[in-house]
Structure 1
Amino acid sequence: MGNVLRLLYKHCCEPTTSNSQSLGPHGVSAQNAGVSALARDLLHFEVTSQVPEGLSKHVVSSKKAQSNWFKKLLQAWKEANPPPQTPEETARLVIATLKRHQKADVEGLLAFYNLPFPHTLVELSSGVPSTYPDGVKYELHTLPVDAKAVADGDTITVYVSTANPRESASVPREVQVAAIQRSKARADRDYAKADSLHKKIIDHNYRVIPIHNEEVLAKKYRIRLRGIDAPESAMPYGKQAKEELTNLVQGKSLRVLVYGEDRYNRCVGDVYCNGIFAQEMMLKKGCAWHYTAYDRRAELANWEKQARAKRVGLWASKNPEEPWKWRKQKREGR
């Protein structure tokens, strides 16, 4: 294998081992199938100088012009550090590389690989506030998030290591003892006893989580993203909203600025993932409403307004139903 082959396949084409995502072509997640397909075709082009069959049906320029695009894209991908891994990153690379080419060709190429069009891409702020905004009570630093922990587009279950100074002083004595006894039971290969002890730990809102070949005792928190309300899973666009949040947070450690708790004992907070403000992303991609009944921040209102103007996400529908109204109807049995 050449270096380019290893580079492309390492970052986007190796089959996923997660059971939480449906797999599409080439053994990758369905959402990233277009990224994988483009990477595969670039590799094929490097070896054969042939562009993919069927591309001509989506673009207006000749095969000679298409070959020129693929030369440029291959070079751009090799120079990218890191290479694009998501549909949005890949679309940005294509658009930047072919910015002097015809709009019909660029959009045709994006459509061929099912990548986002320019008007649907959003620019996101970067970084966590340097000082706590008014109202923040404390901050959580989570362990990497499992995809199955995302309940919908505005709720995530996270775990925080008890090694964290804020957590270490409040671990119940029975949880500490059960964790020690479980470790000994596993060393003795008494897995039935170990499982029983783990259930006791879980009943106290804790869990032992394997991280990098080590077992970490962690406390469970349910997080409600402050200021937004995403469609419920059973609503139109509910599945897409959940997938969007999952793709952002899965496998990542989060920073959560907690403002308080709601009536369901969930922590209400601002969620940051690798510097990306989750609520900003969800609003700008049209995956949620600004929840004005509980949050009056002007920036959130502006991000929703931008998505409405672009008609992206749920705003592609003429009259999307607000989730708070949908929930009220369900409660009233209508």
Structure 2
Amino acid sequence: MVKTESRIRVRNDTLLTSSRNYVSPQGILEFYNFPIPSLPTASPNYQPSLLPEGVQFVLNTLPVYDKCIGDGDGFTAYVPTTDPRESANVPLEVHELVIARTQARKCRDYQSADALLSSLDEAGYKIISCSDDEVLARKYRIRMRGIDAPELKMPYGKESRNALVKLIGGKSVKIYVYDLDQFGRYVGDIYCNNLFIQEQMLKNGHAWHFKTYDKRPEFARWEREARAANRGLWASGNPEKPWVWRRDQRNARQDAIQVY
């Protein structure tokens, strides 16, 4: 009993001594021999490399889940917090949730652990299983820059989504982020396995060039090529434009509200 109390005092004294400076969440987990789901270490010396004009930052994602691809021009991606840019920006709240979940699992309190996972999701983070490890990752909603694909309820909507699934589903992608749109989505150019994904979607007739927001001449050329060859959605002759469809849907909802 005396030896046990002595060990407890030693542990407490060690923690108190460390806390005069800083006790990292990872240090606490290591101290108690808890497994760590790839908690990031901040990188204060991280300096971003030179980026193309207009690019705010670059995301290197984990493999994209098929179910996270909403349609032909948007998807949800996860970036591991071991990435230098992410590691320095993980909120303290998220660190605490990860530690609490680890402790709950250690005690086999799986109900609490699942509830903490939900709280992590609400905070914009997710613990993802990769091989035999768990990775803490940040969630990003992505809007592909310069193209507009049919909505799922439109003709060719499912085909467009399936085309994007074939290109990026189950694969890691690199995203050059240019902007944040009004819906909280990160707008960017997508690359996967050395392919420029917007180029593939346009050339194969799976999307329109979104001329209102993007003036790149190559995008217009790729769309013209697909039209001329009757590829994808252009095989129907005169497909409905998604921005017109969305406008009509909004107007119909407003009319319904006024009638009510």
Q: Does 1:288 align with 2:207?
A: yes
Shift of 1:187: 2.7
Helix, strand or coil at the partner of 1:136: coil
Residue type matched to 1:264 in 2? F
Matches within 5 A, 1:71-150: 132-150=51-69
Match of 2:171 in 1: 252
Q: Does 1:274 align with 2:183?
A: no
For structure 1, the 5+ residue unaligned runs are 1-129
Deviations 1:82-132 (A, max 9, x none): xxxxxxxxxxxxxxxxxxxxxxxxxxxxxxxxxxxxxxxxxxxxxxxx973
Deviations 1:3-37 (A, max 9, x none): xxxxxxxxxxxxxxxxxxxxxxxxxxxxxxxxxxx
TM-score, normalised to structure 2, is: 0.77
Which of the two has greater strand per residue? 2
Match of 1:228 in 2: 147
Shift of 1:184: 2.3
Q: Does 1:327 align with 2:246?
A: yes
| In structure 2, distance between residues paired with 1:246 and 1:186 | 34
Match of 1:185 in 2: 104
| In structure 2, distance between residues paired with 1:184 and 1:275 | 41
Shift of 1:188: 2.4
Question: How many pairs are equivalent?
Answer: 205
| In structure 2, distance between residues paired with 1:323 and 1:169 | 39
Residue type matched to 1:219 in 2? R
Match of 1:261 among 145, 168, 180: 180
Match of 2:90 in 1: 171
Helix, strand or coil at the partner of 1:207: strand
Larger relative contact order, structure 1 or 2 (CA cutoff 8 Å, min sep 6): 2
| In structure 2, distance between residues paired with 1:274 and 1:179 | 32
Residue type matched to 1:227 in 2? G
| In structure 1, distance between residues paired with 2:103 and 2:135 | 15
Match of 1:239 among 158, 163, 173: 158
Deviations 1:174-217 (A, max 9, x none): 11011122122223221101001111111101111101111111
Match of 2:18 in 1: none
For structure 2, the 5+ residue unaligned runs are 1-48, 254-260
Deviations 1:267-290 (A, max 9, x none): 000000111111001001100000
Residue type matched to 2:232 in 1? G
Helix, strand or coil at the partner of 1:270: strand
Q: Does 1:310 align with 2:232?
A: no
Helix, strand or coil at the partner of 1:139: strand
Match of 2:122 in 1: 203
| In structure 2, distance between residues paired with 1:183 and 1:305 | 54
Q: Percent identity between the aligned chains?
A: 53
